[in-house]
Amino acid sequence: MVSLRPRALLARVPNRGLFCAGAVITLLVIALVIVGMVWMPYEPTAMSADRLQGVSVAHPLGTDKMGRDILSRVMYGSRITLLVALGTMAIGAGLGILVGAVTGYYGGIVDEVVMRVTDGLFAFPSVLLALVFVSLFGSSTLNVMWALGIAFVPSFARVSRSEVIRCKHLDYVKNARLMGVRDVRVIFVHILPNMRGVLLSNLMIGFNNAVLSEAGLSFLGIGSQPPFASLGQMISEAQEVFFIVPSAVLGPGLVIVLMVLGFSLMGEGLRSEEGRMA
Amino acid sequence: MRYVLKKTATMLATLLVVSLLLFVAFQLISGDPATRILGTGATPESLAVLRSELGLDRPLVTRYLSWLLSFAQGDPGVSYVYNQPVATLLATKIPVTLVLAALSFAFMCAMGIPTGIICAKYAGSPVDRIVMVANQVIMATPPFFSGILLSWVLGMGLHLFTPGGYVSYETSVPRFLGYLVVPCLAIALPRAAQLAKLLRGSILEEAGKNYVRTAYSRGNNTSGVLFGHVLKNAFLPALTFLGMSLGTMLAGSLVVERVFGIPGVSSILLASIGNRDYPVILAIVVLIAAVIVVVNLLVDILYKVLDPRIGEE
């Protein structure tokens, strides 16, 4: 029986240094978002006469060209970015696992068609897909979430499909079916729990891609609308004043980098050591 | 040869399906273009006249086919907003975006492949560890952010680059390409880091196989085994990655054009999304899809050349 105490679990992580570094970074970002939900130094949309101020005690990251406090805006913006990324993952993983499991289980022509479609989607960059989606349905945060979510369906569908195909001829699954267990239960209770490990790494990679895609889209002005800016949009607005208030670009930029880096370092720490050339 | 023909047929089918889906989606969602052009105050008669002029009174399939035919001949319709042929609007912009993406692609290969090979050869050494951690940071940095940072360091710090100093390729090709170096670097960096990581991983995986031990036992040194035996096999997964990268480069170009004020497709695409100018959006998206599909075909063929076993079951 594997112990579930944190210390015992950590001992099984191949590269503890990287994993812990990633975990600390992720916790910092989450803390920033959670603190921002309870308390922010200023209202993120409140303008003031103190425009384009540098770093000070009153404004730790300075103010933007409308006199808004950048730290407060970063706190608010990272909340939007995090929410969109989580929503994207929920949609992408939920739909993807469902589609992959059902088509893999039943096979046949539907499977063939769905797999060709997901292959096609796979080659198409998520930002472009989101742009098509937004041009059809309008540019709101919710639409961006759906668009990116659909763009992430193929990667999850592939994983769950291959898992279902691998398991459906195994003895224990055949047994369950002989005992009259319904298909739905076979798929979700007997087969899919096997894919936890792969799913975890897919979720981490997917989350990172979602954060980066959302940042790119909001840099282009798509998604959350002003004055409620998400991180990418803050950078886009601050680019012209970069030389006056560097923190207006560096602040939101660093939060994006840390948000992605935390998860990717954790994922890297979980991978076991590879071989050597000689 | 049969393999190539089969793949080409699949490619054409994919392209047809994609363009049909996009065409129908835009037609269904966009509403009536005639009302859009003439405004809501137009008389039913003038609307009917314009509709038949635009060919909107014909069935959807006929419209799709005629659109497809003229698209193939380089005329993807007329913009609602600018009242100009889409081809004219995009003529100077498409080449800029394509050059930007292609150059970024070249940068990605030039940085990613050697880094991956060197890291694999010296796997576990301090150099490898430092590069791999740096890779994680680079992968986490979105191109628009690194673009701003690069133009700051290279422009203000080292005076190697003039932010905002774009030169059209019609004025001077060398200066046009010179300006694109920094944007391309920004687009290519995260993808190059991914490529290096992927290639390193797949070389190390190959290195554990029996044929590698045989190659060593026949007196080859590490470089001999790596370049003579391992690399060709290890490169196959990287090839798939390269095929998918061009799409990423195009998407990256759209974002980074904005950072550096490069007059590519990005500005008109975003303006058209805002204006719901569907002929322009449709043309750009189908064109990008075509580029991506064709590149993937080339990758499939190259795959076959490198590994003749593929597709022979």
DSSP letters of B184-247? HHHHHHHHHHHHHHHHHHHHHHHHTSHHHHHHHHTT--HHHHIIIIIHHHHHHHHHHHHHHHHH
| Ranges for all domains in chain B classified under CATH 1.10.3720.10 | 94-263
CA B104 to chain CA centroid, nearest Å? 9
Please check whether residue A213 is in contact with residue A126, taking contact to mean a CB–CB distance below 8 angstroms. Answer: yes
Residue A6 and residue A263: Cα distance in Å, rounded? Answer: 18
Instruction: Using DSSP, state whether B293 is helix, strand or coil.
Output: helix
Instruction: Using DSSP, state whether A21 is helix, strand or coil.
Output: helix
Query: Looking only at Cα atoms, what is the longest distance across chain B?
Result: 87
What are the DSSP calls for A103-125, one per residue?
HHHH-HHHHHHHHHHHHHHHHS-
Instruction: Using DSSP, state whether B41 is helix, strand or coil.
Output: coil
Mark yes or no for CB contact A261/B136 under 8 Å. yes
Q: What confidence category does residue B8 fall into, taking pLDDT thresholds of 50, 70 and 90? A: confident
Q: What confidence category does residue A274 fall into, taking pLDDT thresholds of 50, 70 and 90? A: low
Domain boundaries, chain A: 13-39+67-276
Write out pLDDT tens, residues B80-114.
888 888 888 888 899 999 999 999 999 999 999 99
Please check whether residue B145 is in contact with residue B257, taking contact to mean a CB–CB distance below 8 angstroms. Answer: no
Please check whether residue B288 is in contact with residue B251, taking contact to mean a CB–CB distance below 8 angstroms. Answer: no
Chain B touched by A234 (CB under 8 Å): no
Please check whether residue B256 is in contact with residue B144, taking contact to mean a CB–CB distance below 8 angstroms. Answer: yes
For residue A60, which phi and psi values (nearest 5 degrees)?
-55, -30
A192-208 mean pLDDT: 85
Instruction: Using DSSP, state whether B57 is helix, strand or coil.
Output: coil
Q: What confidence category does residue B231 fall into, taking pLDDT thresholds of 50, 70 and 90? A: confident
Percent of chain A whose predicted confidence (pLDDT) is above 70: 96
Residue B313 has pLDDT above 60, yes or no: no
- The upper half-sphere exposure of residue B278, i.e. CA atoms within 13 Å in the direction of its Cβ, equals 20
From chain B, pick out residues whose CB is under 8 angstroms from the CB of A128. 247, 250-251, 254, 285, 288
Supply the ipTM of this predicted assembly. Answer: 0.88
Give the number of A-B residue pairs with CB atoms closer than 8 Å.
Answer: 135
Q: Give the pLDDT of residue A75.
A: 92
Residue B296 has pLDDT above 70, yes or no: yes
Write out pLDDT tens, residues A252-268.
999 999 999 998 998 88
Write out pLDDT tens, residues B16-45.
888 888 888 888 776 677 777 777 777 888
Residue B292 has pLDDT above 60, yes or no: yes
Q: Give the pLDDT of residue B193.
A: 96
Q: Give the pLDDT of residue A250.
A: 93
B289-299 mean pLDDT: 87
A189-215 mean pLDDT: 87
Residue B217 and residue B135: Cα distance in Å, rounded? Answer: 34
Residue A86 and residue A177: Cα distance in Å, rounded? Answer: 35
Chain B touched by A25 (CB under 8 Å): no
A30 by Cβ neighbours in 10 Å (0-12 / 13-18 / 19+) ranks as: middle
Query: Looking only at Cα atoms, what is the longest distance across chain A?
Result: 75
What pTM does this model have?
0.89
Q: What confidence category does residue A3 fall into, taking pLDDT thresholds of 50, 70 and 90? A: low
Q: What confidence category does residue A219 fall into, taking pLDDT thresholds of 50, 70 and 90? A: very high
Residue of B21, B28, B144, B287 best to disrupt the A interface, most CBs of A under 10 A: B144
Q: Compute CA distances B190 → A30, B37, B70, B106, B234, whole Å.
A: 24, 43, 38, 14, 21
Please check whether residue A262 is in contact with residue A253, taking contact to mean a CB–CB distance below 8 angstroms. Answer: no
Chain B touched by A230 (CB under 8 Å): no
Please check whether residue A277 is in contact with residue B207, taking contact to mean a CB–CB distance below 8 angstroms. Answer: yes
- The upper half-sphere exposure of residue A213, i.e. CA atoms within 13 Å in the direction of its Cβ, equals 30
Q: Partners of B78 in the beta sheet?
A: B85
CA angle, corner A110, sides to A175 and A103, nearest 5? 40
From chain B, pick out residues whose CB is under 8 angstroms from the CB of A268. 136
Q: Give the pLDDT of residue A2.
A: 52
Mark yes or no for CB contact B17/A120 under 8 Å. yes
From chain B, pick out residues whose CB is under 8 angstroms from the CB of A131. 254, 269, 273, 285
From chain A, pick out residues whose CB is under 8 angstroms from the CB of B29. 136-137
- The upper half-sphere exposure of residue A23, i.e. CA atoms within 13 Å in the direction of its Cβ, equals 10
Residue A228 and residue B172: Cα distance in Å, rounded? Answer: 42
Mark yes or no for CB contact B258/A256 under 8 Å. no
Which residues, 6 or more positions from A43, have their beta carbon under 8 angstroms from its beta carbon? A72
Please check whether residue A247 is in contact with residue A61, taking contact to mean a CB–CB distance below 8 angstroms. Answer: yes
Residue B239 and residue B310: Cα distance in Å, rounded? Answer: 14
A150-164 mean pLDDT: 89
Residue of A128, A209, A236 best to disrupt the B interface, most CBs of B under 10 A: A128
Q: Give the pLDDT of residue B118.
A: 94
Identity at A13, one-letter amino acid code: V
- The upper half-sphere exposure of residue A176, i.e. CA atoms within 13 Å in the direction of its Cβ, equals 17
Q: Give the pLDDT of residue A272.
A: 66
Residue A37 and residue A27: Cα distance in Å, rounded? Answer: 15
Mark yes or no for CB contact A132/B270 under 8 Å. no
Write out pLDDT tens, residues A102-151.
998 888 888 888 887 787 777 778 888 888 888 888 888 888 999 999 98
Instruction: Using DSSP, state whether B14 is helix, strand or coil.
Output: helix
B69 by Cβ neighbours in 10 Å (0-12 / 13-18 / 19+) ranks as: exposed
Residue A88 and residue A152: Cα distance in Å, rounded? Answer: 8
Residue B132 has pLDDT above 70, yes or no: yes
> What fold, for B94-263?
MetI-like fold (1.10.3720)
B237-249 mean pLDDT: 87
What residue of A is the nearest CA neighbor of B240? Answer: A123
Residue B95 and residue A165: Cα distance in Å, rounded? Answer: 45
pLDDT mean across residues, chain B: 86
pLDDT mean across residues, chain A: 86
Please check whether residue A29 is in contact with residue A265, taking contact to mean a CB–CB distance below 8 angstroms. Answer: no
Residue A271 has pLDDT above 80, yes or no: no
DSSP 8-state class, residue B45? H
Q: Would you state the torsion angle of the CA atoms of residues A139, A142, A148, A153, taken in this order, to the nearest 10 degrees?
A: -140
Question: 46-85 in A: which are within 8 Å (CB) of B?
Answer: none
CA B171 to chain CA centroid, nearest Å? 26
A199-224 mean pLDDT: 89
Please check whether residue B295 is in contact with residue B246, taking contact to mean a CB–CB distance below 8 angstroms. Answer: yes
DSSP H stretches of helix in chain A: 6-11, 16-38, 70-106, 108-123, 126-137, 141-151, 153-167, 171-178, 183-185, 196-219, 231-238, 247-270
Looking at mean pLDDT, say which of B70-84, B129-143, B202-216 comes out highest.
B129-143
Q: Which CATH superfamily is domain A13-39+67-276 in?
A: MetI-like (1.10.3720.10)
Q: Give the pLDDT of residue A111.
A: 86
> To the nearest whole angstrom, how far is the Cα of B193 from the nearest Cα of chain A?
13
B293-304 mean pLDDT: 86
> To the nearest whole angstrom, how far is the Cα of A79 from the nearest Cα of chain B?
18
Identity at B213, one-letter amino acid code: R
Q: Give the pLDDT of residue A189.
A: 87
